Structures are given as C-alpha cells and as structure tokens.
Amino acid sequence: MIHTRPEDIVAGVADFEGLGDRLTRLRRTKGLSKTDLAEQLGVTVTSICYWEQGRSRPRLARLQQLAELLGTSPAELLSRDTSPGGDHLADLVTRMRAEIAHAAGTTPAKVRIVIEI
C-alpha cells in the first residue's frame, strides 16, 4: 500500500484548474457577469452557476459557443479536466477532503484519504 501525505497531494493540485474554475476565470477576464454569459448562450444563470461549481457540464453544442465567447477552444476548456486518472483524481480527492473536513468540523489538513487499488 502506498501512503501519500495530504500535504503532498494538496501541493500537487495547487496549479490544477478544473472546468468550473477555468470558466469563472475566463468569464471574469472578459468582464462578463453570469447573467451576461447566460443571455449570450441562451441558457439560465443557474446553468452557468452549476458549470462553474462543477455540478454539471455544458453540452457539446453549447461548449463551442462558450469557447468562442470566452476566446478559447473547446479542447482548451476541457483540457486537463477530461484526462483520465491523475489530475482528475487528485482534484476529486481534494474536494472530498474539504467536504469531509467540513462535515466533521475540522480542517482538510487533518483528513487523510487512502485509496487502495
């Protein structure tokens, strides 16, 4: 069994940017509000919120429009977010650590997650 310290995992994820974070950053860089983006795409503000929170993803038809509005490509929007394992797993572990810590009333640094394969 391989043990990884939580600090090592968090340090390795610090520069990871998921789809939701990337959408938020690009939208703000373009000076667009969630409402502006929703109106231009013909979707609800709730959809934009869910995409940025990682609760859902835009459908492929919207992804092209979204990429054009944000000045990027669909591939770049999804680049590291869709790769198998690696970054996605580390991001998932980091998010779950934060949720578990919140539920337990402690800090993420005090939560240890072990994955056995």
Q: Which residues contact 49 (CB under 8 A, 6 or more apart)?
A: 34
Task: Kindly tell me the number of DSSP H helices and DSSP E strands found in the chain.
Answer: 7, 0
pLDDT in tens, 3-24: 444 444 444 443 467 889 889 9
What the chain holds in terms of domains, given with CATH numbers, is: 1-16+82-117 (no CATH), 17-79 (1.10.260.40)
Matching residue, tokens 């503000």: 45
pLDDT range class, residue 84, cuts 50, 70, 90: very low
pTM: 0.56
Mean model confidence pLDDT for the chain? 79
For residue 104, the tally of other CB atoms under 10 A from its CB is: 10
pLDDT range class, residue 28, cuts 50, 70, 90: very high
pLDDT in tens, 58-72: 888 888 899 999 998
Give the mean model confidence (pLDDT) for residues 76-82: 65
* Predicted local confidence at residue 14, as pLDDT: 39
pLDDT in tens, 34-59: 999 999 999 999 999 999 998 998 88
